[in-house]
Amino acid sequence: MSTLSEVFSRGAEHLEEIASPHVEPRLVYQSFEPRKLNNLTLIDGKTFISTTVAGDITPAGAPDVGLFHDDTRFLSQLELRIGGFRTVVLSSSTEKTFVSRIELTTGNITLRDSLDLPENTVHIRREQLLSGATLFDSLTFENFNLSPVEFLVELALDADFIDVFQARGCARQRSGQYYRPVVCEDGIIFYYRGLDSLFRETEVHLDPPPSEFRDKKAVWNLKLSPLKKVEIRTTIVARVGEAPSRKRRSSFTFADAPPSLFGSRSPRTSNRATRFLTRRC
């Protein structure tokens, strides 16, 4: 399987046209009820993301969640599950409109060896940072059991590329051209060419690479010793251009992020989000 860098080097010739795989939100969510808890919202310039209090974009295609850039939704699903189940939210908050900090845990989960993983014994810290058209999503798992545990981590992803008016329920007579998502060893890329002939791409880079992809779902088989931690880092970049990009690039990488968010130090922290976070250290 190719890496993201190898896919970008091939340009547009590897893309396969498909019919729209998405249903208009106005048809699916005609009776959508407001959530009991307010969403978490991050904003930076012409990009914003709205998630549930768990940091998820779910249900897929719901009108009140998503990663929007330049009035288009570049991510319509970002759903974390542990052992097939949703996580339990302990607390969540946003700071200065561009950082979310979320504390999660697991409910009771039956493991593959038929043992039960007691609730509240695996802690998950989720930290999300929005910088320009790039979203960083860090998941840190810590095992508080007295014995090793092994479980599946699943991250479901999708991008419907609808505009903000469609998300609000306005009908659209025609849509642009969708392409089959390109799955790589270390991520997945969603492509769309709009009626304005501009290409829109959602690049998702996963570190470490998942154990496998199941359609548009990344799956890791995590093994955690007692009191040990492991981190999964996701970088999501929204791009608009006249042709598919031939080069991976983002406003900055995880190596540039401050220690308060991603645990690594770097002198290259120049934007307002990283200045704020560095000051808090």
Residue-wise pLDDT for 199-221, tens only, equals: 999 999 999 999 999 999 999 99
Which carries the bigger pLDDT value, residue 139 or residue 244? 139
CA distances from 281 to 133, 259, 263, 274, 275 (A): 25, 7, 11, 11, 10
Q: How many CB atoms lie within 10 A of CB 120?
A: 12
Amino acid (one-letter) located at 238: A
Q: Yes or no: say if 114 and 132 are a contact pair by the CB < 8 Å rule.
A: no
Instruction: Note whether 127 and 133 are within 8 A (CB).
Output: no
Whether residue 22 is predicted with pLDDT greater than 60 in this model: the reply is: yes
Please provide the average confidence, as pLDDT, over all residues in the chain.
83
Cβ contacts of 166 within 8 Å, gap of 6 or more? 24, 25, 26, 172
Question: What's the pLDDT score for residue 270?
Answer: 33
pLDDT by residue (tens digit) across 76-113? 999 999 989 999 999 999 988 889 999 999 877 655 55
What per-residue confidence (pLDDT) applies to 214?
Answer: 94
pLDDT at 251: 40
Cα Rg of the chain, angstroms: 19
What whole-number percentage of the chain has pLDDT above 70?
77
Question: What are the structure tokens assigned to 225, written together?
Answer: 């010793």
Say what the pLDDT of residue 25 is. 74
pLDDT of residue 186: 94
The span from the CA of 51 to the CA of 131, in Å, is 16
Tokens for 46, please give them: 């012409």
| Strand ranges, E, within 180-267 | 182-184, 187-193, 199-207, 212-214, 217-224, 229-241
The residue-averaged pLDDT of 37-44 equals 91
How confident is the model at residue 75, as a pLDDT? 98
> pLDDT value at position 130?
96
pLDDT tens string 133-190: 999 999 999 999 888 989 999 999 999 999 998 888 787 888 999 999 999 999 999 9
Domains and CATH numbers, the chain: 4-250 (2.70.98)
